[in-house]
Amino acid sequence: MSMRRTPRGSEEARLPTGFRAAGCAAGIKPDGAPDMALLVSDVPAAVAGVFTTNQVQAAPVRLDRERLAGGCARAVIVNSGIANACTGPAGLRDARRTARLAARALGVPESTVFVCSTGSIGRPLPMDRIAGGIARLVPALAEDGGEAASAAIMTTDTRPKRWTVRTRVAGRPVTVCGLAKGAGMIEPNMATMLAFLTTDADVPPRVLQRLLRSAVEATFNRITVDGDRSTNDTVLFLANGLAGGGALGPSSRGWPAFRDAVFETADQLAWMIVRDGEGATKAVTIRVGGARSNAEADRAARSVANSLLVKTAWAGTRPNWGRVMDALGYARARVEEGKVSIRFDGLPAVRAGRAGPADPAALEAVVARPEFTVDIRLGLGRGEAVVRTCNCTEDYVRINR
Amino acid sequence: MSMRRTPRGSEEARLPTGFRAAGCAAGIKPDGAPDMALLVSDVPAAVAGVFTTNQVQAAPVRLDRERLAGGCARAVIVNSGIANACTGPAGLRDARRTARLAARALGVPESTVFVCSTGSIGRPLPMDRIAGGIARLVPALAEDGGEAASAAIMTTDTRPKRWTVRTRVAGRPVTVCGLAKGAGMIEPNMATMLAFLTTDADVPPRVLQRLLRSAVEATFNRITVDGDRSTNDTVLFLANGLAGGGALGPSSRGWPAFRDAVFETADQLAWMIVRDGEGATKAVTIRVGGARSNAEADRAARSVANSLLVKTAWAGTRPNWGRVMDALGYARARVEEGKVSIRFDGLPAVRAGRAGPADPAALEAVVARPEFTVDIRLGLGRGEAVVRTCNCTEDYVRINR
């Protein structure tokens, strides 16, 4: 989350050279909304992936982990509506069969097809509809199909999440494009979150994996909507090299520009996920400084970011810094009440553990904003961390009941 | 939570011999509701206390911790509406002054007066109103004042919480009476929870402290409403010995009867707190068995009990066992998906990690009940734990926004 510089990209899905995508309604969702997407690279692409740390892992996650070892991807087939999680060996067979059907329709090796699912846990995939969806997706593949694909992966998202950065890497035009879905069950490491990054840069799988891991750590793993970590979280990154210019690595001349484009894309998508958190009306950045270590700063920030009392306070307009103090006090991080200071968008709400000089009405005006930052100083060391969260409204409960 | 045997007591506040209490409206709460309570023993009582583990501790908690060393109490003065937390040295002075005013009005040593506060964090106590309240409470003290006292300590509680067990200890009648308040910011270790236990049994302070600690561990520390741990949690236990019969200890003939009465009282109060959780309409017992250790069972149970997605699912009538599986998967406890089984009031929702044979409509009928039990077997060892929680409704958000 170091990125807060002016973004260079834009909120659109302009796929890099050699990528095509499509979305369709395959009848998995009862309401007839789009529920299947396909993303294809015309040539074999290097692939990297980061997956949920939940011990209960959906069948497609287990399949993709296995396939990642090959380092090569041609396609990603995605369905929304059903997560294919807690479905046992039959679920794994369904995931494999989904990949096989897509591979055959595309004429690519089965081992290069990745599968993602998101939706309800515990229900089997309706394989006839999956097959029908694939039959419709393949002929619909198009260079401008990113928008349709990003719409088809939504669940409780209210809007699709897309970001594209077009940059120059060592003189050649390179595109990084990301599509994501989020909304609920969002907690670092990671979320009911699917994200697909694509680029036409040429990056070897191992380099791509390290880059993706560090980008996820700085972005997707620093957001929280409800503290629940899903069974299906997957971030995949495909690099097909069609921009030319030779393989990139950390010592390449063009690396900083490329790395920035990737971090910006991940950061923008992560921020969109928080802003579109289920029922959320406010996106809040929690910064903690002065902790004994970065790890303690992180725990303190997450304790505040996940406190239900803090998040519901911000459903109204009361800053309720007392609840922030309370959440800091039970974080697994050293906190000395008398050394804590808290600012809301710069206004001193707490100084030395007590009510600060900020005018209560001015503080309420900050909390009424759709985005604000809470800056917490612990006064104990140099550890720092940033976590992004959203408020918790009645709508969150309504959506999830 | 081993207690689930038929209770011997009743939901009333019949103070033990030699205790008197009172409640009044001192004008601390803006709506004029009762907001001060006083509890007095006519003779010096042994005292034990368990306090919040939050690093941010309210002034009265700091004062009471200090006073506990003396082992002797004559009175507890309580206010609701303002927590006197995050109020710095001035807050501690106010807590001391509150004790002093009560001590003078009662004619008892100041060091034997304990102070408790609950309510908003960060605001100073209105000391003129506190003084006025004390002046009204002292003449109102009565043997049957427990009900008024329990009503005056409520904050967002919808009903007072009281329990009395009258038993015989080695042939003599002994009473254990508990008054409590709960509602929000409830998470083990402990809660915005105040509880006052009294008995006329004769128990030395150190024995009383060990007994209280084990009772709290088994009851108040095994409930959760919202996972937020407060700055003010306090459980005090006063034993004035007026029942006679000599000092009790673990090897006394009457000990089992007395211990049971204490555990039952704490257990009943804890259960009332869960049932009256802010906005809650359902109280749920989460039992975990087959974990690798009791500690892991505890973590798994708390992960489920605090999952916002689980709690909101139960705001409706869907069992949503998939969310239970998800919460188990991210618990800091070993979980193997294929070995997990889950029952809702005995109905098999999950077997071997997959949908069990229970009829979905029957499962929905369980989740529609005001109380139900979710039994989780991990199949990995002999560790077990029980945690009690409640559902999370729109009203929770409405109350806290």
pLDDT at A4 over 70: no
> Does B74 reach chain A within 8 Å, measured CB to CB?
no
Of B312, B328, B336, the CB nearest to A401: B312
For the question of residue B234 being annotated catalytic, the response is no
Q: Is A55–B336 a contact, with Cβ atoms under 8 angstroms apart?
A: yes
Do the Cβ atoms of B315 and A401 come within 8 Å?
Answer: yes
Q: Do A329 and B231 touch (CB under 8 A)?
A: yes
Q: Sorting pLDDT into bands at 50, 70 and 90, what band is A5? A: low
Closest among A197, A231, A219 to A82, alpha carbons compared:
A231
Lowest mean pLDDT segment, chosen from A366-375, B50-59, B65-74, B121-130: B50-59
The single residue of A192, A198, A231, A234 carrying the catalytic annotation is A192
Domains of chain B: 19-275 (3.60.70.12), 283-400 (3.10.20.340)
Query: Is pLDDT at B284 greater than 60 in this prediction?
Result: yes
Question: Nearest to residue A320, comparing CAs of B397, B120, B58, B396?
Answer: B120
- Minimal Cβ distance to B401: which of A56, A231, A315: A315
- Residue A221 is classified by DSSP as G
pLDDT above 80 for A18: yes
- Tell me the backbone φ, ψ of residue A2, rounded to 5 degrees: -70, -25
- Res. A183 pLDDT band, cuts 50 70 90: low
Q: Do A121 and B229 touch (CB under 8 A)?
A: no
For residue B183, the model assigns a pLDDT of 65
Rounded Cα distance, B235 and B191, in Å: 10
Choose the catalytic residue: B192, B234, B285, B389.
Answer: B192
| Portion of chain A with pLDDT greater than 70, in percent | 94
Query: Testing the interface with B: which of A94, A302, A309 to mutate, by most B Cβ within 10 A?
Result: A309
Mutation pick from B312, B328, B395, B399 vs chain A, by most beta carbons of A within 10 Å, is: B312
Interface of A with B in 292-351 (CB under 8 A): 307-309, 312-313, 315-316, 318, 321-323, 325-330, 334-338, 350
β-bridge mates for residue A41, sequence order = A19
What does the pLDDT read at residue B395? 76
pLDDT tens figures, A193-244: 899 999 999 999 999 999 999 999 999 888 876 555 678 889 999 999 999 9
Contacting residues of B for A55, CB less than 8 Å apart: 328-330, 334-337
Which tokens sit at A341? 């200071």
Those residues with Cβ within 8 angstroms of residue A73's Cβ, 6 or more apart along the chain or in another chain:
A41, A44, A45, A46, A47, A67, A112, A113, A114, A236, A238
Q: Taking CB atoms and an 8 Å limit, are B55 and A330 in contact across chains?
A: yes
Q: pLDDT tens digits for B140-172?
A: 999 999 999 999 999 888 899 999 999 999 899
pLDDT of B187 strictly over 80: no
Instruction: Using pLDDT thresholds of 50, 70 and 90, give the confidence band for residue B188.
Output: very low
pLDDT of residue A3: 45
Sort out which chain A residues have CB atoms less than 8 A from B57's CB and list them.
329, 337
The more confidently predicted of residues A317 and B23 is: B23
Instruction: Collect all residues of chain B within an 8 Å Cβ-Cβ radius of residue A120.
Output: 322
Q: Does residue B400 sit at the A interface (CB-CB below 8 Å)?
A: yes
Dump pLDDT digits (tens) for A294-327. Answer: 999 999 999 999 888 888 888 888 888 988 998 9
Interface of A with B in 174-193 (CB under 8 A): 184-185, 187
Give the distance from residue A15's alpha carbon to the nearest chain B alpha carbon, in angstroms: 33
Q: Which residues of B touch A83 (CB under 8 A)?
A: 322
| CA angle (B158, B161, B164) in 5-degree steps | 160
pLDDT at position A227: 54
Q: Which chain B positions have a beta carbon within 8 Å of A327's beta carbon? A: 228
Residue A162's pLDDT is what? Answer: 97
Chain B residue closest to A335 (CA)?
Answer: B55
Of B184, B321, B350, the CB nearest to A309: B184
Mean pLDDT of B267-287: 88
Average pLDDT over residues A347-356: 94
Cis peptide before B325 (omega within 30 of 0): no
Chain A: closest CA distance from residue B301 (Å): 15
> What's the mean pLDDT in B257-275?
93
Share of chain B above pLDDT 70, in %: 94
Number of neighbours of residue A139 by Cβ within 10 angstroms = 9
B134 CA: distance to closest CA in chain A (Å): 27
Contact indicator for B219, B263 with CB cutoff of 8 Å: yes
pLDDT (average), residues B192-213: 95
Contact: B54, A330; criterion CB under 8 Å: yes
Compute the distance between CA of residue A315 and CA of residue A319 in angstroms, rounded to an integer.
10
Contact yes or no for B121 and A56 at CB 8 A: no
Residues of B in contact with A319 (CB under 8 A): none
With H, G, I as helix, E, B as strand and everything else as coil, classify residue A343.
Answer: strand
Question: Of the candidates B268, B265, B262, B264, which has an alpha carbon nearest to the alpha carbon of residue B250?
Answer: B262
State the pLDDT at residue B120: 86
Nearest CA in chain B to A356: B122
- Give the minimum alpha-carbon distance from B197 to chain A in angstroms, rounded to a whole number: 26
Give, as one character, the DSSP assignment of residue A16.
Answer: P
Nearest CA in chain A to B307: A228
Q: Which residue of A has its CA nearest to B398?
A: A394
pTM summary value: 0.85
What distance in Å separates residue B54's CA from the closest CA in chain A?
5
| Chain B environment of A309 (Cβ under 8 Å) | 184-185, 226, 228, 400
Mean pLDDT, rounded, of chain A:
91
Burial (Cβ within 10 Å: 0-12, 13-18, ≥19) of residue B250 = exposed
> Is residue B359 scored above 90 in pLDDT?
yes
Q: What is the pLDDT of residue A357?
A: 93
HEC string of chain B equals CCCCCCCCCECCCCCCCCEEEEEECCCCCCCCCCCEEEEEEEEEEEEEEEECCCCCCCHHHHHHHHHHCCCEEEEEEEEEEECCCCCHHHHHHHHHHHHHHHHHHHCCCHHHEEEEEEEECCCCCCHHHHHHHHHHHHHHCECCCHHHHHHHCCCCCCCCEEEEEEEEECCEEEEEEEEEECCCCECCCCECCEEEEEECCCCCHHHHHHHHHHHHHHCHHHECCCCCCCCCCEEEEEECCCCCCCCCCCCCCCHHHHHHHHHHHHHHHHHHHHHCCCCCCCEEEEEEEEECCHHHHHHHHHHHHCCHHHHHHCCCCCCCHHHHHHHHHCCCCCCCHHHCEEEECCEEEEECCEECCCCHHHHHHHHCCCEEEEEEECCCCCEEEEEEEECCCHHHHHHHC
Contact B329 A56 (CB under 8 A): yes
* Chain B residues near residue A323 by CB distance under 8 angstroms: 121, 228
Query: Is A368 an 8 Å CB contact of chain B?
Result: no
User: What is residue A158's predicted lDDT score, i.e. its pLDDT?
Assistant: 87
Nearest CA distance, A264 vs chain B (angstrom): 28
Q: Which helix (H) or strand (E) holds A318?
A: none
- The answer to whether A150 faces chain B, any CB pair under 8 Å, is no
CA torsion angle for B51, B55, B59, B62 (degrees, to 10)?
50
Confidence tier at B186 by pLDDT (50, 70, 90): very low
DSSP string, A144-188: TTHHHHHHHT-SS-SS-EEEEEEEEETTEEEEEEEEEE-SSSB-S
Those residues whose C-beta lies under 8 Å from the C-beta of residue B321, and which sit 6 or more positions away, are A122, B342, B344, B349, B350, B355, B363
Question: Which of A228, A303, A396 should one mutate to test binding to chain B, selecting the residue with the greatest count of B CBs within 10 A?
Answer: A228
Answer whether B249 touches A (CB < 8 Å). no
Residue A280 has pLDDT above 90, yes or no: no
Q: What is the amino acid identity at position B249?
A: G
What is the C-alpha to C-alpha distance for residues A49 and A64, in angstroms, rounded to an integer? 8
Residue the block writes with tokens 């690519």: A108
Do A229 and B330 lie within an 8 Å CB cutoff?
Answer: yes
Q: Which residues contact A271 (CB under 8 A, 6 or more apart)?
A: A223, A283, A388
Question: From CA B117, how far away is CA B85, in angstroms rounded?
Answer: 9
Least CB–CB distance from A309: residue in B228, B322, B327 = B228
- Alpha-carbon distance of B7 to A394, in angstroms, equals 37
Three-state DSSP at A111 gives helix
Put simply, whether A394 touches B (Cβ < 8 Å) is yes
B347 pLDDT band, cuts 50/70/90, is very high
Looking at beta carbons, which residues of chain B come within 8 Å of A56? 325-326, 328-329, 335, 337, 353
Chain B CB within 8 Å of residue A393 CB: yes
DSSP string, A26-60: -S-STT----EEEEEEEEEEEEEEEE---SS--HH
Rounded to the nearest integer, the mean pLDDT of chain B is 91
Q: Nearest by CB to A335, from B55, B328, B400: name it.
A: B55
User: What residues of chain B, 38 to 57, have a C-beta less than 8 Å from chain A?
Assistant: 53-57
Q: Does residue B397 belong to the interface with chain A, where contact is any CB pair within 8 Å?
A: yes
Q: Searching chain B, which residue's CA lies closest to the CA of residue A278? A: B309
Give first-to-last CA distance, chain B, whole Å: 32
Q: What is the pLDDT of residues A147-166, one digit of tens each?
A: 999 999 998 888 999 999 99
